[in-house]
Structure 1
Amino acid sequence: MRAITSLAWKSVRNRKTTAILTILTVAISVILLMGVERIRTQAKDSFANTISGTDLIIGGRSGQVNLLLYSVFRIGNATNNIDWKSYEEFSQHRAVDWAIPISLGDSHRGFRVMGTNGSYFEHYKYGSKQPLTFSTGNPFSGLFETVIGSDVARSLGYEIGSEIIIAHGISDVGFSRHDNLPFTVVGILAPTGTPVDKTVHVSLEAIEAIHVGWESGANLGNAPTAEQLNALDFKPQQITAMMVGLKSKIQTFALQRQINTYPHEPLSAIMPGVALHELWGMMSVAEQALMAVSIFVVIAGLLGMLSSLLTSLQERRREMAILRAMGARPKHVFALLISEASALTFIGILVGITGLYFALAVGQPIIQQQYGITIAMSAITAYEWTLLGFVQLAGIIIGFIPALRAYRQSLSDGMTIRI
Structure 2
Amino acid sequence: MSVLLHLTLRSIANRRLTVSLTALAIALAVAMLLGVERLRHDAREGFAQTISGTDLIVGARSGAVQLLLYSVFHIGDATNNVSWHSIEAIAEHPQVEWLVPISLGDSHRGFRVVGTSAEFFERYRYGRGREIGFAEGRPFSDLFDTVVGAEVAARFGYRVGQSIVVSHGAGEVAFADHDDRPFTIVGILERTGTPVDRSVFVSLEAIEAIHVDWVGGARIPGVSIPTEQLHRFDLRPKAVTAALVGLNSRVAVFRVQRFVNTYPDEPLMAILPGATLQQLWSVIGVVERALLAVSAIVVLVGLAGLVAVVIASLGERRRELAILRAMGASPAHVFGLLALESALIGLIGCGVGFAMVQSGALLVGPWLEARHGLLLSAGWPSHGEWMLLGAVMSAAFVASLVPGFRAYRYSLADGMSVRI
TM-score normalised by the chain length of structure 1: 0.96
2:11 aligns with 11
What residue number does 2:107 align with?
107
Secondary structure in 2 aligned to 1:114? strand
- Counterparts in 2 of 1:4-403, with a 5 A limit? 4-173=4-173, 175-221=175-221, 222-229=223-230, 232=233, 234-403=235-404
Where 2:119 maps in the other structure, the secondary structure is helix
| Post-superposition offset of 1:416 | 4.2
Match of 1:136, SS state, is strand
Question: How much has 1:325 moved relative to structure 2?
Answer: 2.4
Structure 1 residue 414 and structure 2 residue 409: aligned?
A: no
Residues 144 and 184 in structure 2, CA contact (< 8 A), matched pair in contact too: yes
Give 3-state SS (helix, strand or coil) of 1:344's partner. helix
Q: Provide the rounded CA distance (Å) in 1 between the counterparts of 2:158 and 2:279.
A: 36
Point out the more displaced range, 76-85 or 279-288.
279-288
Q: Distance in 2 between matches of 1:75 and 1:417?
A: 74
Residues 159-168 or 49-58, more deviating: 159-168
Retained in 1: the 8 A contact 2:169–2:175? no
Asked if 2 retains the 8 angstrom alpha-carbon contact of 1:143 and 1:230, the reply is no
Report if the CA contact (8 A) 2:82-2:240 is conserved: yes
Give me the whole-angstrom Cα distance separating, in 2, the residues matched to 1:302 and 1:74: 45
Distance 1:66 1:173 in 2: 22
Question: 1:162 & 1:230 partners in 2: Cα distance?
Answer: 23
Q: CA deviation at 1:401?
A: 1.2
The total of aligned residue pairs comes to 419
Contact 2:261 2:270 in 1 (8 A): yes
Contact 1:102 1:114 in 2 (8 A): yes
**Shift in Å, 1:233:** 5.1
Contact 2:107–2:174 (Cα < 8 Å) also in 1: no
Q: Which ranges in structure 1 are unaligned for 5 or more consecutive residues?
A: none
Are the counterparts in 2 of residues 318 and 417 from structure 1 also a CA contact under 8 Å? no
Q: Deviations over 1:150-209 (max 9, x none)?
A: 111122222222222211111444651112222122111111111111111111011111
CA contact (8 A) 1:176 1:217 kept: no
For the residue of structure 1 that corresponds to 2:311, the secondary structure is: helix
Structure 2 gaps, min length 5: none
CA contact under 8 A between 2:61 and 2:267: conserved in structure 1? Answer: yes
Change over 3 Å in CA distance of 1:401–1:223 after alignment to 2: farther
Of stretches 122-131 and 238-247 in structure 1, the one that deviates more from structure 2 is 122-131
Give the Cα separation in 1 of the matches to 2:371 and 2:231.
37
Question: After superposition, what is the alpha-carbon deviation per residue over 1:297-330, rounded to whole angstroms, capped at 9, x for unaligned?
Answer: 3212212222222232232222222222222221
2:95/2:252 contact within 8 Å kept: yes
Q: Once superposed, what is the RMSD of the aligned Cα atoms?
A: 1.7
Distance 1:225 1:127 in 2: 43
Inter-partner Cα distance in structure 1 for 2:300 and 2:294: 10
Instruction: Give the Cα separation in 2 of the matches to 1:120 and 1:189.
Output: 12
* 2:33–2:292 Cα contact (<8 Å) kept: no
Residue 417 to residue 271, structure 1, CA distance change in 2 (3 Å): farther
Q: In structure 1, how many angstroms separate the alpha carbons of the residues matched to 2:112 and 2:35?
A: 33
CA shift, 1:134, in A, is 0.9
Offset at residue 131 of structure 1 (A): 1.1
Q: Is the 8 A contact 1:40 1:290 kept in 2?
A: no
In the superposition, the TM-score normalised over structure 2's length comes to: 0.95
Distance 2:312 2:136 in 1: 59
Quick check: 2:147–2:185 contact (8 Å CA) kept in 1?
A: yes
Pick closer, same or farther for the CA change 1:232–1:215 going to 2, 3 Å.
Answer: closer
CA shift for structure 1 position 290: 2.5
Q: CA deviation at 1:386?
A: 2.1
Do the aligned residues in 2 keep the contact of 1:30 with 1:349 (CA within 8 Å)?
yes
Q: Residues of 2 paired with 1:400 and 1:93: CA distance?
A: 69
AA aligned to 1:53 is: G
Letter in 1 for 2:252: Q
CA 1:402/1:144 → structure 2, altered by over 3 Å: closer, same or farther? same
Amino acid in structure 2 at the alignment position of 1:94: P
SS in 1 for 2:270: strand
1:292 partner amino acid: A
Q: Which amino acid aligns with 1:337?
A: L
Residues of 1 paired with 2:170 and 2:176: CA distance?
A: 10
State the secondary structure of the residue aligned to 2:158. coil
> Which deviates more from structure 2 when the two are superposed, residues 240-249 or residues 408-417?
408-417
Q: Tell me which amino acid in the other structure corresponds to 1:288.
A: R
Per-residue CA deviations over 1:191-232 (Å, capped at 9, x if unaligned) read 111111111111101111111222222222333344443665
What is the Cα deviation at residue 77 of structure 1? 0.5
